[in-house]
Amino acid sequence: MTGRICGTGSCLPKEVWDNDRLSQMVDTSDEWIRERTGIRQRHIATGEETTVSLAVGAARAALEDAGISAEEIDLLMVATVSPDEFFPTTSCRVQDAIGAVNATCFDLNAACTGFIFALNTAQAYISQGIYRTALIIGAERLSNLTNWEDRTTCILFGDGAGAAVVRAQDEAADASADAACGSNSKSAFDGENARERSDGVAGERNGNSTCGMDGTRVGNSICGVDGTRGGNSTCGMAGANVSPGRYAQVTHSVGAKGDALTCVSRNQAKYAGVDAPETYLQMDGRAVFKFAVSKVPAVILELAEKEKIDLAEVKYFVLHQANERIIQGIRKKLKPEILHLAEGHLREEHLREKDRPENQTEQEDEKKPDVSVNKAQAQENVREEKTPESEEEYEARFPVNIHDTGNTSSASIPILLDQLNKEGKLQRGDKLILAGFGAGLSYGASYMVW
């Protein structure tokens, strides 16, 4: 039994802070931020917008896209590092708001890798037949954790939520099981009948939000799936040629490097009335950058080797949107593998690093021997080169939306996934790899058939 994504949704606060606004708050500029991060703007929650309300907006949009009711959800998970309260959990608040009365609810904290870890968890439950329909949400209000006087971190983060409905489908991909996720693939709000406030309360349009709309800004929130893709949605395929579902994952954590990205809880007596910078997001940017550019290609390659996946057949690599330069670095490292070029260098480096103790990596990097292979080895390693594609075509395999959202931590992957979905770029049977990294430090990659 495999879980298949059959609906997506997202919700972004209506308030947008561009780089010029930040330049009035800290010593920075639009050019400096764009050059180092690729970010042009980010969405910031204000007023009544909360982590819960953003999660609710994304959840409702995903349910509408899937064409199912909230009562059909039997597992509801929220990945977040920025809950509005320690308890009740964000997931229980969402359950109450959307009416998912039959769902078991809990939150998960794996920072920016949170959505991938939550998706893996849902797949484990589904594969064992414990649950059949899961609603997975990544939701963050990072603006509450950001020191707006620290230019090294405040330029990076934004608020938002993304969600996916995952439903059980057996490996034979029988159409009847797939059809259970909605027979008409009605993923669209019509713009008149489905207004939602960003606090999760259904009602007429009152200036507070539009959830599940076409992505245009109305009122105070953008929460959107436009639904125009119709048959491209992964629900409602009864009687159609349904491709087999598949899911595989690899994850790792390196607690020894945890100090590279931290945020200490203020819920301690010693912080009463004290303005302590350690209670805001703290990051060693250089260490995180190096970690991401090294570990994400390695874990994708590990996944491909473990599951015998030809990376050339993967349509999209949906990466955590932390920094455009990180995405560029990952993309560059994976290019030989994806395009079937000489692959010996990346494989040799990956296999050696896999067997090396984590705390030796940096020291050995400085005296790394030549890992190039001789001609015989290279000839043995090189697969038949695929039809050349342009640089633009290759880059399109790594979609990016960080320009407009900033780093939304656990929400970044589902927000990007929903964007691809609502733009009609995902077709039934497409092969995807989702990959992320974040505080912990943790990282992972998941392979799925859409």
State pTM to two decimals.
0.81
Give the alpha-carbon dihedral of 440, 292, 17, 38, to 10 degrees.
Answer: 180
Q: Which residue has the higher pLDDT, 386 or 47?
A: 47
Q: Which pLDDT tens digit goes with each residue over 252-286?
A: 999 999 999 999 998 888 888 788 899 999 999 99
**Cα gap 21→34, rounded to integer Å:** 14
Q: Judge if the upstream peptide bond of residue 441 is cis by omega within 30 degrees of 0.
A: yes
H or E segment and range at residue 323 = none
Catalytic residue numbers read 112, 320, 407
Q: Which pLDDT tens digit goes with each residue over 79-112?
A: 999 999 999 999 999 999 999 999 999 999 999 9
**Cα gap 73→78, rounded to integer Å:** 13
Give the Cβ contact number of residue 153 at 10 Å.
Answer: 20
Q: Which pLDDT tens digit goes with each residue over 367-381?
A: 444 444 344 444 444
Q: Which residue has the tokens 């064409």?
A: 67
Q: Which pLDDT tens digit goes with each residue over 164-205?
A: 999 999 765 444 444 444 433 333 323 333 333 333 333 333
Q: Which pLDDT tens digit goes with each residue over 311-370?
A: 999 999 999 999 999 999 999 999 999 998 754 445 555 555 555 555 555 444 444 444
Q: Which residue has the tokens 């670095």?
A: 329
Distance of CA 29 to the CA centre of its chain: 28
Find out whether 268 and 305 touch, Cβ atoms under 8 Å.
no
Mean pLDDT of the chain: 82
Q: Which residue has the higher pLDDT, 225 or 16?
A: 16
Find out whether 145 and 51 touch, Cβ atoms under 8 Å.
no
Res 172: pLDDT: 55
Find out whether 203 and 29 touch, Cβ atoms under 8 Å.
no
Q: Which amino acid is at 179?
A: A
Give the pairing of strands 261-262 and 282-283.
Answer: antiparallel
Res 12: pLDDT: 98
Res 369: pLDDT: 44
Q: Judge if the upstream peptide bond of residue 88 is cis by omega within 30 degrees of 0.
A: yes
